[in-house]
Structure 1
Amino acid sequence: MLIKIPKLSRAPTLLHFLFRYKCSLGLWDQNISTDIKLKVEKHWCDEVLENNHENGEKVYILPMFPYPSGNLHMGHVRVYTISDTLARFYKLNGKNVIHPIGWDAFGLPAENAAIERNIPPHKWTESNISTMKKQLTELSYNFDWHRELSTCDPKYYKWTQYIFLKLHEHGLAYQSKANVNWDPIDKTVLADEQVDENGCSWRSGAKVEKRVLTQWFIKTTKFAKDLYDGLSSNYLENWRDIINLQKHWIGECNGVIVTFDITLGDKIKKFDVWSAEPYKFIHGECLCISKNNLIFEELSEHEIKSLKCLNPITGLEVNIYATDDIVYPEGRDTYLVCSLDPKDKYIIENLNICPNKCTKNLLLDKDNEKAVKIAVNKNCGGYFVSSKLKDWLISRQRYWGTPIPIIHCSKCGTVPVPYKDLPIELPLENSNNHNIPTLSNLDSWRNCECPQCGGKAARETDTMDTFVDSSWYYYRFLDPHNNEVPFEKSKLIGTTPVSCYIGGKEHAVLHLYYARFMSHFLHSLGWTPNKEPFKRLLVQGMVMGQSYKIKSSGKYIPPENVEKVGNNYKEKGTDAPVVVQWEKMSKSKYNGENPQRLLTSYGCDTTRLLILADVPPATTRRWSDTTLPGVLNFQHRLWLTIREFLTFRQKSELIQRNITPSEKYIEYERLLRDARNFFTATTTYHFKYTQKLSNNVPAEVIANSKEYELALAHLIIMLSPVTPHFCSELWAGFVSAPERVTKDTILWHNNVLEQDWPVVDRDYGLSFQCKKAVELALSQESVKKRVSRGILRIKYELYPDTRAILHITTKQKVVKAEQEVNVA
């Protein structure tokens, strides 16, 4: 039976015009339905997308920007719901939140899709961006659209080219022959990490071929030690196992690289030599090189036997031995031999090398330091790196990418494009010809004048790996309309490193490594205030769908073609046994979920709540409609709670004035206060919704209780980051009730998105275990070290579940240290 509630009418007063106040739709006498939810979302859409605190402390919430594929998938919905929820949470805490979005728009998928459809890739990309932007808006993600950028926009990739030239200027971008992985389907080079364990391309699935090509590299290895040590930085929060993944990728930096010179015909070729014992660069007798090294590619056997190279540390020539009879360091095909190393004795004997005649007692540790110092001073190496880490191969032989700003001249050699001539734009007028997958045959674009001698020259026709575009975008977001430089340092101060970076674990190695490298490089130029780009990481789990495939053939079939017989699954019509498993969502596996179906069937807020329900963000989510009833019931219960609140607050016979409350009333007040404080603390810490504040409360308490009023207010405020429209409507109904008894802490004439985030009552005592957690936190060794430096300020936060977090600022360096302790 429905409770009939008279529509509440209030004559507009001056206060209503002074405050940002919008009335409820007043549909409380109806049961909540999708139709009502959609009306609510339409009613509140403007308010949901407009609030911010521009004067508060800056908090930079950054989700990884999407590739514009044309349609959102559930992975998109999950990551952007998480980021939007966090952004709204911090806004309610009075922060000035920066929450930008853009498009990682270059790359093979867009180009291949455009070829299939016989349309230019820029048209395909623009269409997809338009579609996805509309979908993101339908989900009410409160992005800073004025910061929007696209990596395929010349206004953006001009500065990618600018940064490339800076890398080249500092000797960190170079061209070299290399054995590369060639994808015969996509007709481009792949980095080693883009080839799976079966030797197949990560994109096309084709078996890769080995080719020798001249390619562009970025010398990331020069920053390896800095990047490895940076993983222990106080800036990093919540990186957890990502630190180990990064460390494993970089490797222990236990050796030194020095760049040697070798004369081949009329050319001098440079190549790197790695050694775990730097003293060998001073005392080494010879250099062993694998026969597969490209140095020997066009040399005769006689030429190889007489080959020498120049050791820049000593200035002396060193004999080269081509051999595969020794064990080379992991990932290397050169080895510096020295008789002072006992391990090299058998090499010296086998190769008949004359050993070092120096018999005096050597201080090899000092020679290690000496060799490194000489290499650094001569700018020929001296940096520490693991043997296995390779430089970043960025050349791609495809059209749809950032052009590399280099010109090749027969007279002047490799010439950087002058900064004033940037950007070097893609020739969009030629992009209709999709039989040409590269820029190399577009003569009208390729042919040019040399900027040094004015003679005939040719542009570089390789484009950059899209990882280059995404290695620095987080800085451009903070100064997106600057036409003079990539970004001003002043725009980064107080905002970087990124407060929380959100994305999938599949990007936690390569993209994160390249982004960290770029940030360290830009910091070395003095462009940024910090080395590390990202403070806190939130790596969300993958959204999995249930797939069905025929056991005998492995063929995937749609779920509607499957039936369950007892405990087994079979294909309808054939009775063929079917294997059921959870896999990453994919159209080809018929296990995807279309977000548009959820938006149409249940509305934006329910979809957002559904994707966050049940499992923490970092956990893999098995998508199923079984979660839906709980979410719908929760919304229904809140709707009924506001209905009850409005009803009982209008019944004069329930209103108690100047009457001593009963013991039962007082007990409910105490329980409500306990529940409110507990869930306020817990939700602040875990930031997830709760529903126990609204159950089984007597009408007398609902009609009169300040604690009930506060509990309900806090519940709606804390849920609003997840379901902003729904909570805006709940709040508008809630504040329209007469007889409000809470006179402070609530901004009654502001909407829910303009409230202050609830806090635990100052006089509310948390458990003894929580306070004990503070004592344990203070006793931690990592905290003691910081304390010994001298404390400027220390504060702690207490939470239920015996958790405590300390914030310590020291004199030596202003840092914030957080210590979390769990007490059994």
Structure 2
Amino acid sequence: MKIVGRSLSHRRVTFQLVKRFKSSLGLWNEDITTKIKLDIEKHWSKEVQCKHNCEGKPYYVLPMFPYPSGNLHMGHVRVYSISDTIARFQKMNGNNVIHPIGWDAFGLPAENAALQHNIPPQLWTNTNIDTMKKQLLDLGFNFNWEKEISTCDPSYYKWTQYIFLKLFEKGLAYQSKAKVNWDPIDKTVLADEQVDENGCSWRSGAKVQKKVLTQWFIRTTKYAKQLYDGLNSKTLENWKDIINLQKHWIGECNGVAVNFKITNGEKTKTFEVWTSEPYKLIHGQFLIMCKNNVILEEFVDNETTSIKCVNPITNSDMLIYITDEFAYPEGQEIYLACPSVNIEDRKLSNHLKISFDNECANINIDNENQKAISLALSEKVGGHFVSSKLKDWLISRQRYWGTPIPIIHCTECGVVPVPYEDLPVKLPESLESGFQTLTNLSDWIICKCPKCLSTAKRETDTMDTFVDSSWYFYRFLDSRNEEMPFSLDSIKNFTPVHCYIGGKEHAVLHLYYARFMSYFLHSLGWTTTPEPFKKLLVQGMIMGQSYKVKSSGKYIRAGDVEKTGKDYREKSTGESVIVQWEKMSKSKHNGENPERLLATYGCDATRLLMLADVPPATSRHWSDATLPGVLNWQHRLWITMRDFIRHRNDADLTRNNNLSNKDIQNYDTKIWNSRNYLIATTTYHFKYTHKLSVGISRLQSLTNVLRNKIPPEVIASSKEYELALASLIIMLTPVTPHFCSELWAGFLSAPHRLCDTSTLIDWNKSVLEQKWPTVDNHYELSFMCKVDGADRCDLKIKAEELTKIDHEKALQMMLQQDSVSKRVTKDIVRTKYELFPNCRAILHIFTNRSVKKEQVEISS
């Protein structure tokens, strides 16, 4: 329907359109205040949380789920503001979006806090979940709450136990005596990854002690080479330096590991031998071992200098010499020597006075390397490539509040897995004051052996919480499945996760464990791809300004500090104070309470504040000084809508229009160009770079255009102004959904003329249901060429024509430009063409000036 003029019938039609959904509060004659913002948020809260079904392309937006500590902190507000904005943006682009939330609910902090307050951890955790869930709802985040999960719920950890049993069946979960990191405060074992560079616990900060304990491990090293090589996959988007962090953690997989055996009477123990020269597994003549190796405690005394072991590749005995007089490979305490072939090993044997023969001196090393690996794999004793420093994942924790390990220890049958039909092995429902482990809960521990039915005992260690979070992203997609952890049908269209969002502090440990678990589940045929996450969006920390007394290092509050010139001093003592930006912490008195922001400014302003100024990956320096800019923009948007409503309802402006047609055309052209340019650039940053702050700055620019001396007559009658204003409100909606819902309702309360089918705007729907604006087909977009990284040409191509340009045509077009051809004086060795529909296109040309010559790469 196309409506022209200002007749009464036009106003009736507009009224009928508006009545199809919730109306505005109608407070446009008042100045925007916090009270009005809070009233707006209350008015639109249900609509903002509404699900608008979409049958489009599946898109999985996943923020890392939170630990239920009791209250949201600013890091939570930031990560979920990012994920909610991306989820809403993708919905407006017609995608079928899943944006779930749950709780990483097991772990030491909850248990310690529960002990301190003398209440069960279950009650403490569930109370915190209720509190944080309310806060997430107050912030207007549109999660798929029907998919909510909690790792401490038996309906979840049943399947964590199920997956553990699958690992056990495949020989990837095993128990072994090991020298472990013991936290004397939290009284539990820590994985190597949970000890910082100073030898302190990542949680308690206590100096870690070394103990020898029998622990449960997951053999992640078997997948090391696959996990390392997988980081080169072209399916990974935006991983940037995270790839290097992961590679550094895994290490170069330049050796293989094989399990040898030591037998002493009835006792047999396995130990892992790593070597970068696999032929030694066949031709090696002896091993050396550090004196403090754990396995020696059970087999030797202080006088013993050598023991025998069995080489599983040759099935023959080998001697192990005990010595510390050797520089072992990084992370290793054992070395396999073959002095008849290796010159350095010959020097070692001479130094240790170990005799050897030369019968294998002339072997074909490459052939023997392959033979040794094949034998190890066929005998199922190892043979997988791994770095020397990478260790298996230690998952045992000596605490109550975690997933019980589903194992039974029987004096007759040994280690017996709990039958699948008996899962879950539930934790006792309550915990007495001061009780920290399961070891003396005899009623829970004593059970029947599933094999021989004799009296046996349950495993009393619980799993590291990283096990729970290593597969949760699959369970979200099938959270109510009672037959299995998840079905292939439920995940196949939504995995790998399209956009995974979380802090950089989780980019090594959690990401490594999650990738391992995904590769394992893929090996079972449960998933369609081994990699769990496609695009990675790393969130920077929220930093607060801290004040520390220079002489003592004591942190003090901002109110206790005064500034004199350029110096800061403590008010009460006059002592010098160090001012710096640090991660927010209660102990440093530099935190910010989200509740204060919500009460003072409203949730939309808080969300906007989190996303403006700096991109997600950058650390954010928190300061109230950034608030005026956000609040002023909201004020300007409010008065822009007020002016639009007033001028559209002013009949005199139409009758007494003193502007010439040329003047109106000039304004329309300016607005048309600005709208298209800012749609293109905003879309580019919201969709491709995820630099949301840059996209938001483009929306601020569009606001400036609409407020920059536009005559009331244009506002009253221009379709271009109307379309630009509508586009602005729609594009801001993912960031401030309540505020934009009110702006949109006000917008439609005024007479408007764009009721034709030439735009994507549906005037019968709320702003939350609108499609994301696109540029007009005949608007000219940027087609840029970079030669060896430098900008050399920028053509302007109509949007509808740009989508028709493929890689080959793009290269031909750019080589015809003097600014490009004059720079390509060397052979082209590689090209890359990036097409961002409705945004821009970029052709990258690399010559042998900057990169090693290789075959030209054609990509699109």
TM-score range, shorter chain: over 0.9
Indicate the residue corresponding to 2:6 in structure 1. none
| Distance in 2 between residues matched to 1:661 and 1:499, nearest whole Å | 51
| Distance in 1 between residues matched to 2:98 and 2:491, nearest whole Å | 12
Indicate the residue corresponding to 1:754 in structure 2. 769
| Distance in 2 between residues matched to 1:517 and 1:724, nearest whole Å | 38
Indicate the residue corresponding to 2:455 in structure 1. 456
Instruction: Give the CA deviation at 1:664.
Output: 2.2
| Distance in 1 between residues matched to 2:273 and 2:392, nearest whole Å | 13
Indicate the residue corresponding to 1:630 in structure 2. 629
Indicate the residue corresponding to 2:292 in structure 1. 292
Amino acid of the structure 1 residue aligned with 2:325: D
Indicate the residue corresponding to 2:712 in structure 1. 699
Matches within 5 A, 1:492-511: 492-511=491-510
| Distance in 2 between residues matched to 1:679 and 1:265, nearest whole Å | 79
Matches within 5 A, 1:615-626: 615-626=614-625
SS of 1:387's partner is coil
Are the aligned partners of 1:805 and 1:819 in contact in 2 as well (CA < 8 Å)?
Answer: no
Range moving further from structure 2, 530-539 or 314-323: 314-323
1:799 paired with 2:839, answer yes
Matches within 5 A, 1:641-720: 641-655=640-654, 662-687=661-686, 688-689=695-696, 690-693=699-702, 694-696=706-708, 697-720=710-733
Alpha-carbon displacement from aligned partner over 1:357-414 (angstroms, at most 9, x marks no partner): 3256321101111111111111111100000000000000000000000011111111
| Distance in 2 between residues matched to 1:406 and 1:783, nearest whole Å | 58
Are the aligned partners of 1:52 and 1:97 in contact in 2 as well (CA < 8 Å)?
Answer: no
Indicate the residue corresponding to 2:347 in structure 1. 346
| Distance in 2 between residues matched to 1:805 and 1:115, nearest whole Å | 60
Instruction: Give the CA deviation at 1:772.
Output: 5.3
Q: Percent identity?
A: 62
| Distance in 2 between residues matched to 1:749 and 1:470, nearest whole Å | 43
Matches within 5 A, 1:103-114: 103-114=103-114
1:168 paired with 2:168, answer yes
Indicate the residue corresponding to 1:810 in structure 2. none
Indicate the residue corresponding to 2:778 in structure 1. 763
Amino acid of the structure 2 residue aligned with 1:704: S
1:210 paired with 2:222, answer no
Amino acid of the structure 2 residue aligned with 1:425: K
Indicate the residue corresponding to 1:132 in structure 2. 132
| Distance in 2 between residues matched to 1:443 and 1:261, nearest whole Å | 35
Instruction: Give the CA deviation at 1:267.
Output: 1.5
Instruction: Give the CA deviation at 1:766.
Output: 1.9
Amino acid of the structure 2 residue aligned with 1:405: P
Are the aligned partners of 2:154 and 2:424 in contact in 1 as well (CA < 8 Å)?
Answer: yes
Instruction: Give the CA deviation at 1:496.
Output: 0.2
SS of 1:766's partner is strand
| Distance in 2 between residues matched to 1:105 and 1:804, nearest whole Å | 47
What is the RMSD of the two structures over their aligned residues, measured on CA atoms? 2.6
Range moving further from structure 2, 51-60 or 103-112: 51-60
Range moving further from structure 2, 498-507 or 651-660: 651-660
1:310 paired with 2:310, answer yes
SS of 1:655's partner is helix
Instruction: Give the CA deviation at 1:474.
Output: 0.1
Are the aligned partners of 1:472 and 1:518 in contact in 2 as well (CA < 8 Å)?
Answer: yes
| Distance in 1 between residues matched to 2:20 and 2:281, nearest whole Å | 72
SS of 1:110's partner is helix
1:377 paired with 2:386, answer no
Alpha-carbon displacement from aligned partner over 1:552-571 (angstroms, at most 9, x marks no partner): 11111111111112211112
Are the aligned partners of 1:59 and 1:90 in contact in 2 as well (CA < 8 Å)?
Answer: yes
Indicate the residue corresponding to 2:410 in structure 1. 409
Unaligned runs of 5+ in 1: 1-7, 788-793, 807-816
Are the aligned partners of 1:717 and 1:755 in contact in 2 as well (CA < 8 Å)?
Answer: yes
Are the aligned partners of 2:644 and 2:715 in contact in 1 as well (CA < 8 Å)?
Answer: yes
Amino acid of the structure 1 residue aligned with 2:611: L
Alpha-carbon displacement from aligned partner over 1:94-117 (angstroms, at most 9, x marks no partner): 111000000000000000000111
Indicate the residue corresponding to 1:812 in structure 2. none
Indicate the residue corresponding to 2:544 in structure 1. 545
Amino acid of the structure 1 residue aligned with 2:377: V
Q: Against the structure 1 CA distance between its residues 360 and 295, is the aligned structure 2 distance closer, same or farther, given a 3 Å change threshold?
A: closer
Instruction: Give the CA deviation at 1:457.
Output: 0.8
Are the aligned partners of 1:53 and 1:91 in contact in 2 as well (CA < 8 Å)?
Answer: no
Instruction: Give the CA deviation at 1:768.
Output: 5.2
Q: Against the structure 1 CA distance between its residues 450 and 499, is the aligned structure 2 distance closer, same or farther, given a 3 Å change threshold?
A: same
Instruction: Give the CA deviation at 1:686.
Output: 1.2
Are the aligned partners of 1:245 and 1:509 in contact in 2 as well (CA < 8 Å)?
Answer: yes
Range moving further from structure 2, 56-65 or 693-702: 693-702
1:387 paired with 2:402, answer no
Amino acid of the structure 2 residue aligned with 1:554: G
SS of 1:36's partner is helix
Range moving further from structure 2, 678-687 or 70-79: 678-687
Amino acid of the structure 1 residue aligned with 2:768: L
SS of 1:225's partner is helix
| Distance in 2 between residues matched to 1:668 and 1:768, nearest whole Å | 27
Are the aligned partners of 1:497 and 1:533 in contact in 2 as well (CA < 8 Å)?
Answer: yes
Are the aligned partners of 1:645 and 1:734 in contact in 2 as well (CA < 8 Å)?
Answer: yes
Amino acid of the structure 1 residue aligned with 2:700: Q
Q: Against the structure 1 CA distance between its residues 263 and 374, is the aligned structure 2 distance closer, same or farther, given a 3 Å change threshold?
A: same
Range moving further from structure 2, 112-121 or 258-267: 258-267
Instruction: Give the CA deviation at 1:818.
Output: 11
Q: Against the structure 1 CA distance between its residues 384 and 363, is the aligned structure 2 distance closer, same or farther, given a 3 Å change threshold?
A: same
Indicate the residue corresponding to 1:489 in structure 2. 488
Indicate the residue corresponding to 1:270 in structure 2. 270
Range moving further from structure 2, 385-394 or 686-695: 686-695
Unaligned runs of 5+ in 2: 1-8, 687-694, 786-792, 796-804, 815-826, 846-856
Indicate the residue corresponding to 1:65 in structure 2. 65
Indicate the residue corresponding to 2:436 in structure 1. 437
Are the aligned partners of 2:832 and 2:844 in contact in 1 as well (CA < 8 Å)?
Answer: no
SS of 1:307's partner is strand
| Distance in 1 between residues matched to 2:753 and 2:13, nearest whole Å | 18
Are the aligned partners of 1:235 and 1:535 in contact in 2 as well (CA < 8 Å)?
Answer: yes
Alpha-carbon displacement from aligned partner over 1:495-553 (angstroms, at most 9, x marks no partner): 10000000000000000000000000000000011100000010010000111121111
Q: Against the structure 1 CA distance between its residues 504 and 795, is the aligned structure 2 distance closer, same or farther, given a 3 Å change threshold?
A: closer
Indicate the residue corresponding to 2:597 in structure 1. 598
Alpha-carbon displacement from aligned partner over 1:636-689 (angstroms, at most 9, x marks no partner): 111111111111112223227999953222121111111111110111111322
| Distance in 2 between residues matched to 1:659 and 1:569, nearest whole Å | 60
| Distance in 1 between residues matched to 2:115 and 2:637, nearest whole Å | 51
Instruction: Give the CA deviation at 1:209.
Output: 1.0
Alpha-carbon displacement from aligned partner over 1:29-54 (angstroms, at most 9, x marks no partner): 11111111111111111111113233
Range moving further from structure 2, 382-391 or 544-553: 544-553
Q: Against the structure 1 CA distance between its residues 131 and 386, is the aligned structure 2 distance closer, same or farther, given a 3 Å change threshold?
A: same
Amino acid of the structure 2 residue aligned with 1:461: T
Instruction: Give the CA deviation at 1:691.
Output: 1.8
Instruction: Give the CA deviation at 1:191.
Output: 1.1
| Distance in 2 between residues matched to 1:363 and 1:756, nearest whole Å | 66
Range moving further from structure 2, 447-456 or 78-87: 447-456
Q: Against the structure 1 CA distance between its residues 216 and 191, is the aligned structure 2 distance closer, same or farther, given a 3 Å change threshold?
A: same
SS of 2:402's partner is coil
Indicate the residue corresponding to 2:328 in structure 1. 328
Are the aligned partners of 1:656 and 1:704 in contact in 2 as well (CA < 8 Å)?
Answer: no
Q: Against the structure 1 CA distance between its residues 371 and 638, is the aligned structure 2 distance closer, same or farther, given a 3 Å change threshold?
A: same
1:474 paired with 2:473, answer yes
Q: Against the structure 1 CA distance between its residues 632 and 14, is the aligned structure 2 distance closer, same or farther, given a 3 Å change threshold?
A: closer
Are the aligned partners of 1:649 and 1:655 in contact in 2 as well (CA < 8 Å)?
Answer: no
| Distance in 2 between residues matched to 1:264 and 1:818, nearest whole Å | 62
| Distance in 1 between residues matched to 2:98 and 2:751, nearest whole Å | 38
| Distance in 1 between residues matched to 2:11 and 2:839, nearest whole Å | 41
| Distance in 2 between residues matched to 1:589 and 1:448, nearest whole Å | 49
Are the aligned partners of 1:613 and 1:627 in contact in 2 as well (CA < 8 Å)?
Answer: no
Amino acid of the structure 2 residue aligned with 1:353: I
| Distance in 2 between residues matched to 1:594 and 1:79, nearest whole Å | 16
| Distance in 1 between residues matched to 2:722 and 2:496, nearest whole Å | 40
Q: Against the structure 1 CA distance between its residues 685 and 639, is the aligned structure 2 distance closer, same or farther, given a 3 Å change threshold?
A: same
Indicate the residue corresponding to 2:742 in structure 1. 729
Are the aligned partners of 2:255 and 2:274 in contact in 1 as well (CA < 8 Å)?
Answer: yes
| Distance in 2 between residues matched to 1:527 and 1:786, nearest whole Å | 35
